[in-house]
Amino acid sequence: MCGIVGMIGNTGAKEVLLKGLEKLEYRGYDSAGLALMHENVNVHKEVGRIAALREIIPAEVDGTIGIGHTRWATHGVPSVPNAHPHQSTTGRFTLVHNGVIENDEIIKKTLDVPFLSETDTEVIVQLMEKHFVELGDVEAAFRKTLSDLHGSYAIAMIDSEDKERLYIGKNKSPLLVGLGDGTFNVVASDAMAMLQVTDQYLELHDGEIVILTRESATIKTLDGDVLERAPYTAEIDASDIEKGTYAHYMLKEMDEQPAVIRNIIQHYQNENGDIELAEGVRELVSEADRVYIVACGTSYHAGLVGKQLIERVAGVPTEVHVASEFGYNMPLLTEKPLFLFISQSGETADSRAVLVEVKKLGHKALTLTNVAGSTLSREANETMLLHAGPEIAVASTKAYTAQIAVLAILAYDIARANGKKLPFDLMQELALVATTMDSIMAQKEIFEELADKFLKESRNAFFLGRGLDSYVGLEGALKLKEISYIQAEGYPGGELKHGPIALIEDGTPVITLVSQPNTHLNIRGNIKEVVARGAIACTISMEGMEHENDAFVLPRVEPLLTPLVTVLPLQLISYYAALARDCDVDKPRNLAKSVTVE
Ligand code: M6R
């Protein structure tokens, strides 16, 4: 959460930094700020989006050194005083920060200066000035300051007395250095922000600082030891991060799902058409006596489907845990557990905290992520990539279907390693799924009408299903609530009469999935129960299980893979409901794409 950019060069940094912040807006967008240094340091901050910040910066203001920030509030409301950058009392140091400092209150008591904001970040910059006064050396004071902090931080700092250096520090929050052509260097929370000027990046590890000049990037430990590291090329196609002709990233990303499935098939099969995983992944999975899936939000919902796939196809017991609960409520572990982290961004702090914990216990971890080189990827033993291309809309769509497809491939590989009979030709069925997705996406107007009819004026909604359909219902409810602000709940159909049915009244929309051959008659009974109490039913069924008044009938796919197609109508209905209610689809209130604080 929060996005950081920085630049040190010879020409105007303002436009590069503003464009970079626009690319990072998905990380938080309640307020933003920029500090630009030419002769002096100029700080501009505004509540709201980057567009609002642009408006208030006078055309003539620019600088060759600058740092910028887009915020997702943790300490204090979104306001100009709480927006970053923050400055020390004398104005000597200016910094931006992403993360949460846990001992900020303790440090604050040791600082005899007035505070202008409610943020933990201002504590850092004031501590920096205190240490500088004591030590007389900026770099030493910077290292000492960071050593005093407990918690997570990605920091970029300007010293108003030094036009030759930017100071960078990182611990548990993502930050990368982008290498320029010898006349400039940049820093950003995510390579996407700086693809406009470079595709060469230096990975930074926790507890490292960087002294950035126009010509060099010197990585050091907090003790001052210099570290050597080779840069890598960010393999992101700049066009992948543009919206193109689409009204929203979410719509573009939903439309990309068939292509993502085809991409996954290509990446995980060899020339004979057989599933082929990296040797390391094979070893990890063949050793495991139980799989513990750890994830958050949409990735957790994909994990619920993954459990069914791994248990039913490979016969390996699998548990699914919400990351933020796992650390405080660890289940009994088997002798050879395999931890499977599912995370689109690979940066989610709750999941990362669990990874750190299980590594301390000596367990092995595999990460499924969309972002190569992300923290969860680097720190796990092995990674399986989703190959979904950058996902920018806060509401996750193509990452969910990619996660399920990769989990199916993993389940097949575990099954094969364990000598199990494979139930169907997975790659062939995935290809069929992609074609089915194409046909659903070609009928968007149907879902627009359904959203209009069922959800436009609604206060709440229910998503029902049984088995895999109930897991997809949870995802449908999450999608709807996060972008349209309609109170939405997902329930297994049979559970309704144990309490939630009390909420059904005249006109309550109930969206039900009917795709599971073993329970389709039971769920039809549940639909009757809610309709008898006044609910309006929107039923999405699968060929062979359809009824006359169903709202949409999906082409038939392999029952174990139905979540890959049943979720599409729910994503589309949520999207169109949000549009009909005039909501900001790509940037819903209070949320951020990458949740890098616990
Ligand atoms: O990057 P991750 O997959 O670890 O993110 C986990 C959740 O924060 C994320 O899936 C969230 O629930 C989405 N906004 C849902 O659309």
Q: Is the pLDDT of residue 592 over 90?
A: no
Mutate to test the pocket of ligand 1, among 305, 345, 597 (most ligand atoms within 8 A of CB): 345
The alpha carbon of 385 and the centre of ligand 1 are apart by a number of angstroms equal to 16
Answer yes or no: is the C-beta of 348 below 6 A from any ligand 1 atom.
yes
Q: Is the pLDDT of residue 239 over 90?
A: no
Nearest to 49 by CA among 584, 597, 578: 584
* Residue 230 CB coordination number (10 Å): 6
Q: Walk me through the domains of the chain, giving residue ranges and CATH numbers.
A: 2-239 (3.60.20.10), 245-438 (3.40.50.10490), 443-584 (3.40.50.10490)
Task: Output the CA angle 82-83-87, nearest 5 degrees.
Answer: 85
Radius of gyration of the chain measured on its C-alpha atoms: 25
Answer yes or no: is the C-beta of 377 below 6 A from any ligand 1 atom.
no
Which pLDDT score, from 0 to 100, does residue 542 have?
98
Torsion on CA atoms 360, 364, 368, 372, rounded to nearest 10? 70
The alpha carbon of 530 and the centre of ligand 1 are apart by a number of angstroms equal to 31
The alpha carbon of 595 and the centre of ligand 1 are apart by a number of angstroms equal to 8
Mutate to test the pocket of ligand 1, among 249, 298, 406, 571 (most ligand atoms within 8 A of CB): 298
What average pLDDT does the chain have? 95
Answer yes or no: is the C-beta of 344 below 6 A from any ligand 1 atom.
yes
Answer yes or no: is the C-beta of 482 below 6 A from any ligand 1 atom.
yes
The alpha carbon of 468 and the centre of ligand 1 are apart by a number of angstroms equal to 20
pLDDT in tens, 164-190: 999 999 998 999 999 999 999 999 999
Mutate to test the pocket of ligand 1, among 296, 324, 367 (most ligand atoms within 8 A of CB): 296
Answer yes or no: is the C-beta of 324 below 6 A from any ligand 1 atom.
no
Q: Which atom of ligand 1 is nearest to the CA of 397?
A: 16
The alpha carbon of 301 and the centre of ligand 1 are apart by a number of angstroms equal to 10
- What string of H, E and C letters represents the secondary structure of 261-315? HHHHHHHCECCCCCECCCHHHHHHHHHCCEEEEEECHHHHHHHHHHHHHHHHHHC
The alpha carbon of 105 and the centre of ligand 1 are apart by a number of angstroms equal to 30
Q: What's the distance, CA 449 to chain centroid?
A: 30
Q: Could you identify the residue written with the tokens 């069924």? A: 541
Q: Is the pLDDT of residue 409 over 80?
A: yes
Q: Which contiguous run of DSSP H or E holds residue 254?
A: helix 249-255
Q: Is the pLDDT of residue 1 over 80?
A: no
Answer yes or no: is the C-beta of 395 below 6 A from any ligand 1 atom.
yes
Q: Is the distance from CB of 294 to CB of 302 less than 8 angstroms?
A: no
Minimum mean pLDDT range among 2-6, 293-297, 499-503, 588-592: 588-592
Percent of the chain with pLDDT strictly greater than 70: 100
Q: Which atom of ligand 1 is nearest to the CA of 298?
A: 10
Which pLDDT score, from 0 to 100, does residue 527 have?
96
Q: What is the pTM of this model?
A: 0.88
pLDDT band, residue 124 (cuts 50/70/90) = very high
| 29 vs 58: which has the higher pLDDT | 58
pLDDT band, residue 263 (cuts 50/70/90) = very high
Q: Is the pLDDT of residue 327 over 90?
A: no
CA atoms within 13 A on the CB side of 443: 14
Q: Is the pLDDT of residue 62 over 90?
A: yes
Q: Is the pLDDT of residue 596 over 80?
A: no
Mutate to test the pocket of ligand 1, among 348, 351, 352, 587 (most ligand atoms within 8 A of CB): 348
The alpha carbon of 542 and the centre of ligand 1 are apart by a number of angstroms equal to 28
Q: Could you identify the residue written with the tokens 């890959």? A: 564
Q: Is the distance from CB of 437 to CB of 562 less than 8 angstroms?
A: no
Tell me the catalytic residues.
2, 593
